[in-house]
């Protein structure tokens, strides 16, 4: 892993690690321990839902050793189109979505999921410069 950053909050604010090597090692450890799982995300009929704010959980942006970019995010989906939309956000417990290019994997990693969802990452990151 060459670098890591996080985008979080309604405004999609960028964060960078305070100690990059330590955070990269921690994420790499969790990724090695993660197990692939199958997740069936229901498809909502109608047009895609477009939201003009970042209502998702924190998203991790990775630059891999190969130079490729990837993202990690707790697995979530919309279960409906109600108001407010936040009522229809569903989380898949202990599962993160890893995307590299056009490929997506679902990985079971309770520690990584908890670190992102419970805000543990905030102790290790600062606002990006």
Kindly list the averaged pLDDT for each block of 10 residues, start to end, along the chain of length 129: 89 92 96 96 79 80 94 89 75 96 97 96 93
The pLDDT value given to residue 43: 83
Distances (CA, A) of 90 to 55, 57, 63, 100: 12, 11, 28, 23
Question: Are β-strands 125-127 and 13-17 bridged in parallel, bridged antiparallel, or unpaired?
Answer: antiparallel
At 100, list the tokens: 């590299």
The pLDDT value given to residue 89: 83
The pLDDT value given to residue 83: 73
The pLDDT value given to residue 121: 96
Q: How far is CA 61 from the centre of its chain?
A: 8
Q: How far is CA 45 from the centre of its chain?
A: 24
User: What's the helix, strand, coil split of the chain in %, to 5?
Assistant: 25, 40, 40
The pLDDT value given to residue 49: 74
């Amino acid at each position: 892993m060459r670098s890591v950053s996080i985008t979080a909050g309604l405004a999609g604010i960028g964060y960078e690690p305070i100690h990059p090597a330590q955070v990269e090692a921690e994420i790499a450890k969790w990724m090695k321990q993660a197990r692939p799982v199958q997740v069936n995300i229901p498809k909502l009929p109608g047009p895609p839902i477009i939201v003009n704010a970042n209502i998702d959980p924190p998203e991790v942006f990775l630059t891999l050793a190969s130079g490729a970019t990837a993202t990690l995010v707790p697995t979530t989906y919309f279960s409906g189109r109600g108001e407010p939309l936040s009522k229809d956000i569903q989380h898949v417990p202990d599962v993160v979505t890893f995307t590299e290019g056009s490929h997506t994997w679902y990985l079971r990693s309770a520690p990584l999921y908890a670190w992102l969802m419970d805000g543990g990452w905030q102790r290790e990151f600062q606002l990006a410069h």
